[in-house]
Structure 1
């Protein structure tokens, strides 16, 4: 169980305790702890929130699968944007549920994930199917609201470059880069650089 809200974790632990043949072997409140426990405990299923205080749930999923290859990561989150969904799937998640899911849906999903099945909330499944039915590719560029130049700037920022370094790399002025960065923040609805970098890295930008 990976979630930074103790009361929510406690509720899910109670749900799983009533499921025949299932038990919670570990709980984590952040991504780093999740990876460490997965390596130590080798769980069959990991229920993963995406909003975590230390390391995002997407990056934790990516690392966790490397240290516990047989573990099925089942995302359970409030985030329902396409960027979050497809970033989690690219990282290796086997399922994606929203926190509005009821008890029976969560129980069915855990059981299915343990059997190696892919699981989605109904609304998520519809969007995933529509995505592929439309002929898009899984690696389609994230953050479609960004222009090509804004996307390029975000990628470089996610790689750790300062505005001045981005300007030199793209052969533009510092002011131009600042304008692009401001536009990126507005379109991603983030309040600062750290949040933008986290969103970008979750979506696979920045060379991670």
Structure 2
């Protein structure tokens, strides 16, 4: 029998849809640990609930699913995000994946498809509605052929902060080491993320390690 003891959070601004999906998943044996109706609520509740899988809508009153995905993965690096959206627009799909989403389903998916997708996502497997996987693969192939401009150069201070991030230090610890404020640390982290086109602190740490910045 398949183990369905997976902690799930459902993020959608439509109450009837959100509650219906949560109820369906609970009926299938999943543990629904939280629901949310927007980016801010999703980020706060995910940090508290630490779900294994987050079912994410793309359109919300205070932002979009890509923004919420990046914010949640910052707070819950072990979580996996599965987008469940009415939109199958190219930009929405690619934005979600670039923000760190593991998969993308459209809301026309059947209940059995959703159950299977949540299980697969909890194991880190990429799940896409037929046709969307090809879109994502095609985009990565395009990037491989034409990577675009060279990586932007970080400032000396940004590089210093990045070295400490790679060591797993918190913003407060980094601030104490470098004699700057935690807010300044976060500003440097944010600037580095934008320059390097990375989605979250986890990806930033991976980048730093891959480039040998985790050693003095």
Q: TM-score range by the shorter chain?
A: 0.5 to 0.7
Residues 41-190 of structure 1: pairs in structure 2 closer than 5 A: 41-133=49-141, 135-137=142-144
- Give the alignment's TM-score, normalised by structure 2: 0.61
- Give the alignment's TM-score, normalised by structure 1: 0.63
Secondary structure of 1:83's aligned partner: helix
Q: Which runs of 5 or more structure 1 residues have no equivalent in the other structure?
A: 142-203
Q: Is the strand fraction higher in 1 or 2?
A: 2
Question: Within the alignment, does 1:7 sit opposite 2:16 as a pair?
Answer: yes
Residues 17-56 of structure 1: pairs in structure 2 closer than 5 A: 17-20=26-29, 22-56=30-64
What RMSD, in angstroms, separates the aligned Cα atoms of the two structures?
A: 2.4
Q: Which runs of 5 or more structure 2 residues have no equivalent in the other structure?
A: 1-9, 149-193, 200-216
Runs of 4+ in 1 over 6 A off after TM superposition: 138-141
CA separation in 2, counterparts of 1:139 and 1:45? 33
Q: Per-residue deviation at 1:15? A: 1.3
Q: C-alpha deviations, 1:42-82, integer Å up to 9, x for none?
A: 00000000100012211111111000001101001112121
CA separation in 2, counterparts of 1:23 and 1:129? 32
Secondary structure of 1:63's aligned partner: helix
Q: How many residues align?
A: 143
Q: Per-residue deviation at 1:138? A: 10
CA separation in 1, counterparts of 2:114 and 2:25? 9
